[in-house]
Amino acid sequence: MQKIQKYIDYVNLSLSRISIENNHPKELYIPIKYSLDLGGKRIRPALLLLANDLFGGKDENAIEAAMAVEIFHNFTLIHDDIMDNAPLRRGQPTVYKKWNSTVAILSGDVMFAQSVQHLIKSKTIHLAEILDIFSQTAIEVCEGQQIDMNFETQKKVSIEEYLKMIELKTSVLLAASLKIGAIIGDSGTENANHIYEFGKNLGIAFQLMDDVLDLYGNPKTFGKQVGGDIISNKKTFLLLKAVELAKGEQKNELEFCLNSSVIDNESKIKRVTKIFDSLQIKQHAETEMNHFFNSAISHLDSIEAPSEKKKVFEDFAKSLMLRVN
Amino acid sequence: MQKIQKYIDYVNLSLSRISIENNHPKELYIPIKYSLDLGGKRIRPALLLLANDLFGGKDENAIEAAMAVEIFHNFTLIHDDIMDNAPLRRGQPTVYKKWNSTVAILSGDVMFAQSVQHLIKSKTIHLAEILDIFSQTAIEVCEGQQIDMNFETQKKVSIEEYLKMIELKTSVLLAASLKIGAIIGDSGTENANHIYEFGKNLGIAFQLMDDVLDLYGNPKTFGKQVGGDIISNKKTFLLLKAVELAKGEQKNELEFCLNSSVIDNESKIKRVTKIFDSLQIKQHAETEMNHFFNSAISHLDSIEAPSEKKKVFEDFAKSLMLRVN
């Protein structure tokens, strides 16, 4: 884990060195700087550097690509926040709220272009390949966001559709970051594909755990309203599984809770949780989560690389799954 | 001109072959297809192919790059239309009006990523170079749009700022298209730079002529409301030059026309035109236009390429300047 922290620091240092002093107009560049300065865990770029290192690549060959995926990620957040009317991001006003949607659209677009600029500065002979992964991933992330938006008005969402949505919306960028790092480190195609699958499956497991924690997390450490997803009728794995399994009286009760305008939040959470518990929804989610987690680990096992270096990835994956909030 | 038409047809054919049948979700891909099917003159991709041909490049090496610049251009239009609240584009509802701004943001983002995908399919050893030009140009186009939006609330805009804005917002993409085509055709650096400057200067001249035609164009062939820029107080070269030159009584009269809420459109156009005429604004604009046009031609002259092929570019440039609407 120390190694990941080292890379997180390296990414933060590199991002902090981006100067906007000579950039004009300021209306475009101040929000970009603001967005990057808001922080974030920098997991994707750190894992990109770690994947490059896994195959013996030098850090300086991959740092520009690492910055590219982080800038790209922040571009997607800026545009998503417009679409979701989100007032806050990391406890601060979103770009769209602090300025306006025009500024948010355009500064996001610039960040997308900047991420391409950083990517092509990577020291690699595989430029066409990493750009292919990058642009394909960019498209998939947008598809995931659109599918997620569709869910809001879509009456019936299957578990399969849900899993595809979280794969596209959150997992593929993690997976692509790992794969791009591996390719810059000259991993070869097979290893690059395995690390992609490691990241993709881990990302899905992580999102499923997020769904579980929203309701079953420790209220003291969770930081958000426990049961927030239930209050907003969010189509998470838990709810979709319950809709799939509930029959008879339970089904009526669930539908009442989802559609009633008179029920208060506290009793809504209580009554829905009762249904979830009797249908063993938490266990179903954990089974699914373990399936994806084990699949991730099995792809990690298949990678040809020094086992002490692979251990860092395994430890990281386990630490993600052990978090309590 | 026949050669340009041949390339326009080639671009249209290639774009029409894009299938969205296997793409999901449809909410994202139907607007993309709609946007590309709306038409447009396809000048940028045609000139890219022509520039590649100028240096003996094969058409099939550059067609993907040509599609890239056209898709990128349409992406910028989709996002611009949101920011400008524009209801119509080429006589049809804009993507943002026909669907909504979420769809317009996301399908635009996908088109940006698609343009990168097409670009990397170009058959060239200069991939890093064309991607560098492309991403830098993408940033500049956004800067131009932001500067243009700033003008709406900015009290004083200099001619210099205005020329920079039109350079960024409209000229650099034309210039970059030519340069990318030239590089794929193995033009060498100097020729690529000259053709870039040819496109940049021609684009500025073209935009200045657009400003002139808005007021002085033939009402029978112009197609838009003559004097529309005056009615909306649009900061064009004509108005900015008049603001710069008007003194005393004329200055007061101009300010009255710009700020009065009682003056009707017809007399506003009449009174402002009278000021323009007495300040010889049209002549000033034409002088400036000729300056950029001549600069474009002088860069064309400096290009080392067969003169009969260069003639096509010169004829095209002249035809642009001769249009009456």
ipTM: 0.95
Strand, coil or helix: what is A25? Answer: coil
Mutate to test the interface with B, among A76, A109, A124, A173 (most CBs of B within 10 A): A109
Domain positions in chain B are 188-196+206-325
Segment A206-225 shows an average pLDDT of 85
Confidence at A216, pLDDT banded by 50, 70, 90: very high
Give the per-residue pLDDT at B219: 77
Q: What is the pLDDT of residues B143-156, one digit of tens each?
A: 999 999 999 999 99
Q: B23: which residues sit within 8 A by CB, 6+ positions away?
A: B29
Give the per-residue pLDDT at B246: 97
Name the residue in chain A with its Cα closest to that of B27.
A146
Distance from CA of B145 to the nearest CA of A (A): 8
Q: What is the pLDDT of residues B121-142, one digit of tens each?
A: 999 999 999 999 999 999 999 9
Contact A135 B143 (CB under 8 A): no
Angstrom CA distances, A69 to A2, A135, B53, B103, B297, stand at: 21, 11, 36, 23, 42
The angle at the Cα of B279, spanning B275 to B282, to the nearest 5 degrees, equals 95
Give the per-residue pLDDT at B304: 98
The full length of chain B comes to: 325
Name the residue in chain A with its Cα closest to that of B129.
A120
Contact A134 B117 (CB under 8 A): no
Contact B116 A102 (CB under 8 A): no
Q: Which of B25, B83, B143 sits opposite A28 (nearest CB)?
A: B143
Strand, coil or helix: what is A92? Answer: strand
Q: What is the pLDDT of residues A37-77, one digit of tens each?
A: 998 999 999 999 999 999 999 999 999 999 999 999 999 99
Q: Which of B24, B105, B136 sits opposite A79 (nearest CB)?
A: B105
Contact B106 A138 (CB under 8 A): no
| Mean pLDDT rounded to a whole number for chain A | 95
* A-chain residues near B134 (CB < 8 A): 116
Identify whether the C-beta of residue B208 lies closer than 8 Å to the C-beta of residue B237.
yes
Q: B2: which residues sit within 8 A by CB, 6+ positions away?
A: none
Contact A25 B113 (CB under 8 A): no
Gap between the terminal Cα atoms of chain A: 19
DSSP state of B89: E
* B-chain residues near A82 (CB < 8 A): 101-102, 105
Q: Count CB-CB contacts under 10 A for residue A27.
A: 18
Strand, coil or helix: what is B260? Answer: coil
Identify whether the C-beta of residue B278 lies closer than 8 Å to the C-beta of residue B317.
no
* Cα A133 to Cα A138: distance, rounded to the nearest angstrom: 9
Identify whether the C-beta of residue B159 lies closer than 8 Å to the C-beta of residue B97.
no
Q: What is the pLDDT of residues A66-101, one digit of tens each?
A: 999 999 999 999 999 999 999 999 999 999 999 999
Distance from CA of B138 to the nearest CA of A (A): 6
Contact B142 A113 (CB under 8 A): yes
pTM of the predicted structure, to 2 decimals: 0.96
Strand, coil or helix: what is B204? Answer: helix
* B-chain residues near A26 (CB < 8 A): none
Mutate to test the interface with B, among A82, A95, A99, A105 (most CBs of B within 10 A): A105
Residue A89 backbone dihedrals phi, psi, to 5 degrees: -140, 120
Q: The tokens of B304 are what?
A: 């080392």
- Extract the residue ranges of chain B whose pLDDT is less than 50: 325
The fraction of chain A above a pLDDT of 90, given in percent, is 93
Segment A123-149 shows an average pLDDT of 97
Contact B79 A117 (CB under 8 A): no
Contact A143 B28 (CB under 8 A): yes
Contact B102 A120 (CB under 8 A): no
Distance from CA of A138 to the nearest CA of B (A): 6
Contact B105 A120 (CB under 8 A): no
Give the per-residue pLDDT at B319: 92
Contact A109 B142 (CB under 8 A): yes
DSSP conformation letters of B182-201? HHHTT--HHHHHHHHHHHHH
Distance from CA of B70 to the nearest CA of A (A): 16
Q: Count CB-CB contacts under 10 A for residue B39.
A: 12
| Second-level CATH architecture of B188-196+206-325 | Orthogonal Bundle (1.10)
DSSP state of B168: I
Q: Which of A103, A113, A127 sits opposite B139 (nearest CB)?
A: A113
Which of A15-19, A215-219, B69-73, B143-147 shows the lowest mean pLDDT across its residues? A215-219
Q: The tokens of A147 are what?
A: 């599918």
* A-chain residues near B116 (CB < 8 A): 116, 131, 134-135, 138
Residue A182 CA from chain centroid, whole number: 19
Contact A28 B150 (CB under 8 A): no
Interface of B with A (CB under 8 A): 24-25, 27-28, 79, 82-83, 101-103, 105-106, 108-110, 112-114, 116-117, 120, 127-128, 131-132, 134-136, 138-139, 142-143, 145-147, 149-150
Q: The tokens of B78 are what?
A: 């989709």
